[in-house]
Chain A
Amino acid sequence: MKYVRAGLRRFRDLFRTDRLERDLADELEAHLQLHTDDNERAGMCPDDARRHALLSLGGVESVKEHYRDQRGIPMLEVILKDLGFGLRLLRKQPAFTFGAVATLTIGVAANVLVFSIANALVIRPLPISDPGQVVRAYVDGYSNTPYSDYVDYRDRNQTLSGLAAFANVPLVVRRDGAAEPVSATAVSGEYFETLGLPASVGRMIVQEDDRAGAPGVVVLSHAYWQRRFSADSGIVGQSVVVNGWPFTVVGIAPAAFVGTQAPLVVDAWVPWHAPSLTPAPENRSAHLIGRIRPGASLAQAQMDVAHVAAQRAQRAGRDRAQQLVLSPAGTLLPQMASQVNTFLQVMGAVAVLVLLIACVNIAGLLLARAEGRRREIAVRLALGAGRRRLIGQLLTESVLLSSFAALAASIVVITVGRLLARVSLPIGEPVALDVPFDWRVMAFTLGLSVLTAVLFGLAPAVQASGLRVVSGLRGGAGAGGQRTRLRRALITLQVAISTVLLIGAGVLVRSLVEARRLDLGFSTQDVLTVNLDLSTRSYAPGRGIELFHRLRGQLARDPQVSAVSIVGTLPLTVSSQAFAFLKEGAARPAPNERLPPVFFDSISPGYFRTVEMPLVLGRDFTPADDAGAPPVVIVNQTLADRFWPGENPIGKRLQSLAARNAFGPLLEVVGLARNAKYATVGEAPKAFVYFPLAQQYKSRVTLLVKATGRDSTAVLTAVRSAVAALDPDAPLSRISTLHQATGVSLLPLRVAAGLTTGLGIAALVLAAVGIYGVTAFLVRQRTRELGIRLALGAAPSRVVRALTRESLWFTTMGIGLGLVASLAATSFLGSFLYGVTPTDPVVFVAIPALLILTAYAAGRIPAGAATRIDPIRALRDE
């Protein structure tokens, strides 16, 4: 009780120091007066009386100091005082502060970013109640399980309180005219109950919804609800058209729940047995997720399902039972777990390395500064500052620096997280990475910043406080020889690393520029592309072809449209299909012989005109080349040269070779097309066969519309209304220009270029700070020597040269090492590169030049400061 009261008073007194300070001064003065009075009465002269009183009080300031320790909370006050002092010091040296914080930010941000991605994918549990009890089930190592097996396991197990099935299904949602494909999951009636997930609005899917013949219901994800329905709660209970059937929106999922297959994002959930879904419920294979009964363990549940599997095998008369393995359910798609873990481990190791380098460099900066503060520290030691107090003070500065860095890193990571959430990869799957800045990331960042501060701050602090008072005051130069040698080696290494990264980045960026200039074999000018997916419409091929034909006819009449056609797969979108073809009359290949692949696609009439790819010989397909007509193809030059070198290919015939060596029908060549790039920009010439879409039907196609005007998106309205008039439930998606769509093939290159550029710049900043630190340290150490030289008439420019020569020496070493490593590294990039050689001379000259300039600048600043040393002061100083 008395400690509580005392503590409270001390805390209160923290905030009225001024008044208490005056009070104390008054009280001590009164004490002295009373004592002096007594002394005078005892017969002393006034001066002696006062002096005696002072002596027996024991020194006013010393008493005050003891008194202050008793008042308030000394440790807190000390910390506050140190913080204030540290802040003042950092503000007085903005360049140092900025460099140190920037360096640390790179290191801390890299680590926090890796951690928050790991948190999003691996660490963070599913946002459901008691996620520890939820398991995924894999049959014989696979997640996909036949539905009938699922029903068996669900009904026969004893230890799971629920076992649910889910699978991704194609789904098109239409409301207010526009139909759009969504990323959807069909779930069995147990799914949401098993997860223990309540709806944020309305209700989730329940058992009664999941019966054949039950009315269609759909639950929307929070994000989709916001995006498509502007978060209007009125939509719940309303009807939408799903795959052409009326469904009722019954609820909205909680915002945190994006499905059980991150980073795949789900927009909508429908019952497993909902109408209109393809494939049919019984033929659809299921992913399984279950919840272990309270009180049962994972091992018990595992034994239980193994028992069910054994019974099943017995009933079916099989020797071997299925292996049903239960494993704790994470957010991550299980197929990706091991790759993601490896990736995270590698990234984590790189991030830790970057942080360590940053710490070493900052420690270097601090050492350089401590060298300049020898005298200040010696004076403070001489005045009786405790060593612990001194270390505390120096560490406080380190903590301040690392806190700023942690703050900056948090901002970086939150920004990157926002960007990642907004990024939509053009890969056809709705992938989004929700990288939340939650309390785990916050705790990690804080812990890391403290650890960092100790890592880079402790050594300089201990060293500085270990100063001998006398030599410190006298100002003798410390022995720094071995210490700087290690640091120089480290910086040489950093320069080498940044050389490699920047040269890699340079080559990739150059290649990116060159790739845009390559001849693709066709033109992407003014062409709008729209994906049209009839796979949810369960049309017979004839009806789909009819729709495509009428759609082309309708759009061709539009004055804004100069050409229109349909293609199965857009060129340069990385995907391609290949098959074995033989020319007519060729012998069947030997069993082990591998025929070179021939790539193919289906196109409608008008394709070559739309992409300005003139036919060399023969004719384009016409509407007459339909399912009933003789099968025809158009081939490219590579194929014609392979099959009929030196001959006219028109009228020749070829056939496909299916599995078990069965021949397909003979196909007559009616046209010869130029070679083009088909899957990627960098590919070697490929043999290619075009089929008429009417003879090789595809339900998922891309519509290509070439506009007469410059703005190809202007025709979009015409496209929308034409499609809606033919089938309102046919979904249009991934609307873009052909130029943008084909840009996907450059995505790996762009990602690689961006990544290496970012890393290269980070490495360059680190190296620059390192060089600055070492040079500054040298200057501080040699102040006296430099002073003498200047006093003896050395030209300042010579002094600068002497000092920068050193840093240029190890920079050059680093660049040399880096160049050798780069030659090895860029040869790996060969397949990535277009139009530049891996040893591109421009890059191999420009990057070293950039590095030398940076190194020179980083060394020049502290060296320049050295020439402003006043010789007289430098000499007197020592």
Chain B
Amino acid sequence: VAKTDVWQGTLALMVLRTLETMGPQHGYGLARRIEQTSGAQLSVNYGTIYPALLKLEQEGYVVSEWGTSDTNRRAKFYRLTRSGRRQVARIAAEWQQTAAIVTRFLAPE
């Protein structure tokens, strides 16, 4: 899949959703996880995750702090805030609705 606007928008949802299911996570971990979940269909530079994380942090959906990884490396961990949780629910619902509509259009008659 190309780097499209849809991808840009959905990346935020994927990050938030991943944080919701996995708990606090560093950037690398998030990128890996998203890649795995998407079944490696999204071959995108890992680097794009960082501007997206910064945007979410500016909007107040995540907070970050430095911590230690499983492999004993220093890394910056991102955690969902309460408004972040509400945001996941909201955009997930929106997304499902959109997907449902589009699916109905594309369904064979």
Contact = CB atoms under 8 A, between A and B. Distances in A.
Contacts of A37: 71, 73
Given A5-B60, A31-B27, A70-B54, A57 B71 contact: no
A5 B58 contact: yes
B45 interface: yes
Interface string A737-773: 0000000000000000000000000000000000000
Interface in B69-86: 69, 71, 73-76
A33 interface: yes
Interface string B48-79: 10110011011110000000010101111000
Nearest to B52: A70
Interface stretch (A58-66, A231-239, A521-529): A58-66
A841 to B, nearest CB: 78
Contacts of B74: 26, 30
A28 B26 CA distance: 11
B45 A57 contact: yes
B46 A56 contact: yes
A6 B12 CA distance: 15
B39 interface: no
Contacts of A34: 26, 28-29, 69, 71, 73, 75
B51 A70 contact: yes
A66 B47 contact: yes
B62 to A, nearest CB: 13
A203 interface: no
Nearest to A71: B54
Interface string A62-86: 1100110111000000000000000
A140 interface: no
A813 to B, nearest CB: 62
A413 B74 CA distance: 63
Interface size classification for chain B: 20 to 34
Contact of B28 (A5, A35, A58, A59): A35
Contacts of B55: 6, 70
A contact patch SS:
helix
A62 B50 CA distance: 11
Contacts of A10: 58
B24 to A, nearest CB: 15
Nearest to A32: B28
Interface string A1-45: 010011001100000000000011011101101110110000000
Contacts of A71: 54
Given A37-B71, A58-B46, A63-B50, A31 B58 contact: no
A31 B54 contact: no
Given A37-B71, A70-B54, A31 B28 contact: yes
Given A58-B47, A58-B48, A30 B54 contact: no
Contact of A9 (B27, B32, B46, B58): B58
A8 B58 CA distance: 9
B26 A6 contact: no
A22 to B, nearest CB: 12
Contact of A69 (B29, B48, B51, B57): B51
A23 B64 CA distance: 11
A27 B54 CA distance: 12
Interface string B17-32: 0000000001111001
Contact of A27 (B27, B32, B59): B27
A317 B51 CA distance: 92
B47 A63 contact: yes
Interface size, A (range): 20 to 34
Contact of B47 (A2, A26, A38, A62): A62
B54 A67 contact: yes
A796 to B, nearest CB: 56
A5 B55 CA distance: 11
A35 B46 contact: yes
Nearest to A27: B76
Nearest to B29: A34
Nearest to B45: A58
Contacts of B27: 27, 31
A28 to B, nearest CB: 7
A49 to B, nearest CB: 13
B64 to A, nearest CB: 9
Contacts of B59: 2, 5-6
Nearest to A24: B50
A6 B45 contact: no
A614 to B, nearest CB: 97
Contacts of A67: 50-51, 54
Contacts of B75: 27, 30-31, 34
Contacts of A31: 26-28, 46, 75
A531 B98 CA distance: 95
Contacts of A69: 51
B94 to A, nearest CB: 15
Contacts of A60: 47
B36 to A, nearest CB: 12
Nearest to A7: B58
B52 to A, nearest CB: 8
Given A5-B60, A31-B27, A31-B28, A66 B48 contact: yes
Contacts of A26: 74, 76
Contacts of A5: 58-60
Q: Which residue, of B26, B47, B50, B74, has the highest number of chain A Cβ atoms within 10 A?
A: B47
A57 B32 CA distance: 11
Contacts of B58: 5-6, 9-10, 70
A5 B57 CA distance: 10
The residue in B54, B75, B76 that gathers the most chain A C-beta atoms within 10 A of its C-beta is B54
Nearest to A5: B60
Given A30-B26, A70-B54, A59 B76 contact: no
A823 to B, nearest CB: 73
Nearest to B61: A2
Most chain B CB within 10 A, of A9, A23, A31, A66, is at: A31
A59 B51 CA distance: 14
Contacts of B28: 30-31, 34-35
A59 B47 contact: yes
Given A9-B58, A35-B28, A70-B55, A30 B45 contact: no
Given A6-B59, A31-B27, A71-B54, A56 B73 contact: no
Contacts of A35: 28, 46
B40 to A, nearest CB: 12
Contacts of A30: 26, 28, 73-76
A56 B73 CA distance: 20
Nearest to B64: A27
A452 B45 CA distance: 46
B60 A2 contact: yes
A34 B28 CA distance: 7
A156 B55 CA distance: 74
A28 B28 CA distance: 9
Q: Which of B29, B46, B55, B57 has most chain A Cβ within 10 Å?
A: B46
Contacts of A66: 47-48, 50-51
Lowest 10 CB-CB distances: which A-B pairs, in order? Answer: A58-B45, A63-B47, A58-B47, A6-B58, A70-B51, A34-B28, A30-B75, A31-B28, A9-B58, A57-B47
Given A6-B59, A10-B58, A37-B71, 9 more contacts: A6-B60, A27-B50, A27-B75, A30-B26, A34-B29, A60-B47, A63-B51, A66-B50, A67-B51
Interface of A: 2, 5-6, 9-10, 23-24, 26-28, 30-31, 33-35, 37-38, 56-60, 62-63, 66-67, 69-71
19 contacts: A2-B59, A5-B59, A6-B55, A6-B58, A6-B59, A9-B57, A23-B76, A28-B47, A30-B73, A34-B28, A35-B46, A57-B47, A59-B47, A62-B47, A63-B48, A63-B50, A63-B51, A67-B51, A69-B51
